[in-house]
Amino acid sequence: MADKQVQTTFELSKLLNDIKEKASSNIIAAKNSEEIEFERVNYLGRKSELTFLLKQLKNLDLEAKKLIGAQANQLRQDINILLLKQEKKLQASELSQKLTTEEIDITLPGIKKLRGHLHPVTQMQRRAEDIFQSMGFQIVYPYELDDDAHIFSLINFPLGHPARDNWDTFSTIDGFMPIPHTSAMQNRVISTITPPVKVIIPGRCFRNEATDARHEHTFFQIEGVYVDKGIRLTDMLGTLKTFFTEFYERNIEVKFTPDFFPFVEPGGMMSLTCVLCHGKGCKVCKGSGWLEILGCGMIHPEVLKAANIDPDVFSGFAWGFGLERLMMMKYNIEDVRHFYNGNLKFLRQF
């Protein structure tokens, strides 16, 4: 019985050596990654000679198992090393061949990848926000849907007030409306922040407008609110003059013309020196040298009372301007509809 074990051990050991020689020869002869993978399966796969040989270990005694098992494990490691070396050698050869046969003509123009960018209105909104923040204003964003109280009643537009017709807007079946002006946020701001209140409210507004070159039903507006003790109309004029001078990057003069808005008293329209003709007079400003740009004024005492602020102690001013209108003046754009009609030739200029 012992002689038979010795004979079997000898035969298995010889078989392992034969496998090693054949594996070395065949792996070195492999010419590509497919042939490498074939040899890997052939010598290390579940149906390989080595796997079959290892199944015979159960028939050996303990000493023979240790001897043949160690030899088989060493053979597996040797084959793996051979496969890895040959694979790296082939990869280096293939790379060298590609570098020789697939040269890149560096004189050819490259293919430029198209990258998206911020919409021009978003760019200008961020620019305006940066300017006002440098002046000490906080930023609060409005609700795009709000109720009648905040859109109208709490800023001195009682039911039946004729001025509501100027803000004729859309509505939902549950009584909410897309805001027609960012003033809808004014009561929430001044009733929740202890004065001094120094806030801008940039947001999208919606109105029932007949669209043309100067009007859109959807547009961006920036509301400004400043409430503190001793605030005067001249403070508002100075604040807006500073903003527009920074925004247009040139000295801008401002002119206040009295007008009516229910939420301000006194209220009016502010005009700027025409940025196209520098105040000399042109077709856009109709020869006047001025462009009417926004509504503004001192916050009405009733609006302050609705926010539980004593108008005998505090005063403030507010304004609202359309961002697209400022951009039209800044870049001499003739039609507001360009901003939202999806024309990439226009949008890519910014």
From the candidates 30, 221, 227, 306, which is the catalytic residue?
A: 221
Q: What's the average model confidence in pLDDT over 46-54?
A: 73
- Structural domain includes residue 173: yes
Does the active-site annotation cover 207? yes
Q: Assess whether 39 and 76 both reside in one domain.
A: yes
Q: Assess whether 82 and 212 both reside in one domain.
A: no
Contacts 24+ apart (CB under 8 A), 200-203: 200/128, 200/129, 200/132, 200/137, 200/138, 200/139, 200/140, 200/224, 200/225, 201/139, 201/140, 201/141, 201/142, 201/225, 202/125, 202/128, 202/129, 202/139, 202/141, 202/323, 203/141, 203/142, 203/144, 203/179
Q: Assess whether 172 and 240 both reside in one domain.
A: yes
Question: What is the domain count for the chain?
Answer: 2
Does the active-site annotation cover 115? no
Domain of residue 97, residue span? 2-101
Please give the residue that has the higher pLDDT: either 176 or 110: 176
From the candidates 40, 207, 300, 325, which is the catalytic residue?
A: 207
- Structural domain includes residue 137: yes
- Structural domain includes residue 75: yes
Residue 22: pLDDT band with limits 50, 70, 90: confident
Residue 121: pLDDT band with limits 50, 70, 90: very high
Inform me whether the pLDDT recorded for 126 exceeds 90. yes
Q: Assess whether 8 and 36 both reside in one domain.
A: yes
As a residue count, the chain comes to 350
From the candidates 318, 319, 325, 336, which is the catalytic residue?
A: 318
State how far Cα 143 lies from the chain centre: 20
Q: Assess whether 140 and 23 both reside in one domain.
A: no
CB-facing half-sphere around the CA of 249: CA atoms within 13 A: 4
From the candidates 150, 181, 300, 338, which is the catalytic residue?
A: 181
Q: Assess whether 21 and 161 both reside in one domain.
A: no
Does the active-site annotation cover 181? yes
- Structural domain includes residue 196: yes
Spatial strand order of the sheet with 197-206 comes to: 138-139, 197-206, 218-228, 315-322, 290-299, 264-273, 254-261
Q: Assess whether 89 and 210 both reside in one domain.
A: no
Q: What's the average model confidence in pLDDT over 73-77?
A: 79
From the candidates 167, 197, 275, 306, which is the catalytic residue?
A: 167
Q: Give the integer Cα–Cα distance in Å for 262 and 183.
A: 11
Domain at 279, CATH number: 3.30.930.10
- Structural domain includes residue 175: yes
Q: What's the average model confidence in pLDDT over 155-181?
A: 82
Residue 1: pLDDT band with limits 50, 70, 90: very low
Does the active-site annotation cover 97? no
